[in-house]
Amino acid sequence: MNRLEKLAVQLGMTTTEIMVTGFLLSGLVLGITVNLLTSSVNISRFTENVPKTLFSDTEIDSLLHEAAAMEAGGIAPTPEKQTPSQQNGPLSKTTSGSKVRFIDAGIDELTSIPGISKVLAGRLITFRKSRNGNIERFQDFLEVKGIGRKRLEILQQHLILQ
């Protein structure tokens, strides 16, 4: 009896089953080895034109708000029922050119600013309350989640602090 037959008797398997199992195990080891070798390849050159995020914070907040409204029984407007400014996204809002006083602005006034969703307007109001209305410079808005440099520039164009 050769080694393969002895092993088959000890394991209670046929020699064919042992050979197939050995083949599968060697394929698994080979696959893991190839995966480890290829994972060290720098793939950034293939993904440099792919956007880092698909949605901005404002768009995510708006989508979450709409989803919550749908779960609560409200129905989100379909594209046919939306106004043209709603169909173009959150950055397409227009204002009448007048500036909004941040110290007493409500959610509706803040959402009239391009790029400001209801969720972000709520965060701005919460931020204002936490500071007791004492905001002296626009740089302070960078502490609010969802406000970056670009959105800060928009706020500077549309808000009056005092």
Residue 113 within a domain: yes
Residue 78 has pLDDT above 60, yes or no: no
In a domain, 42, yes or no: no
Nearest Cα neighbor of 4 from 24, 20, 19 is: 19
Is residue 62 a part of any domain in this protein? yes
The model's pLDDT over 116-149, given as tens digits with 9 standing for 90+, comes to 899 999 999 999 999 888 888 888 889 899 888 8
Question: Quick check: pTM over 0.95?
Answer: no
Q: Are residues 82 and 124 in the same domain?
A: yes
When divided into structural domains, the chain yields a total of 2
Question: What does the pLDDT look like over 23-72, one tens digit per residue?
Answer: 999 999 999 988 887 776 666 656 666 566 666 777 777 778 777 777 76
Euclidean distance between CA atoms 160 and 162, whole angstroms: 6
Q: Are residues 65 and 26 in the same domain?
A: no
Looking at the structure, tell me whether residues 80 and 5 fall in a common domain.
no
The CATH code of the domain that includes 127 is: 1.10.150.320
pLDDT above 90: percentage of residues in the chain: 13
Instruction: Please list, in sequence order, all residues whose beta carbon lies within 8 angstroms of the beta carbon of residue 134, skipping any fewer than 6 positions away.
Output: none
Structural domain range at position 64: 57-160
Examine the domain organization and report whether 81 and 144 are in the same domain: yes
For the chain, what percentages of helix, strand and coil (3-state, to nearest 5) are there?
60, 0, 40
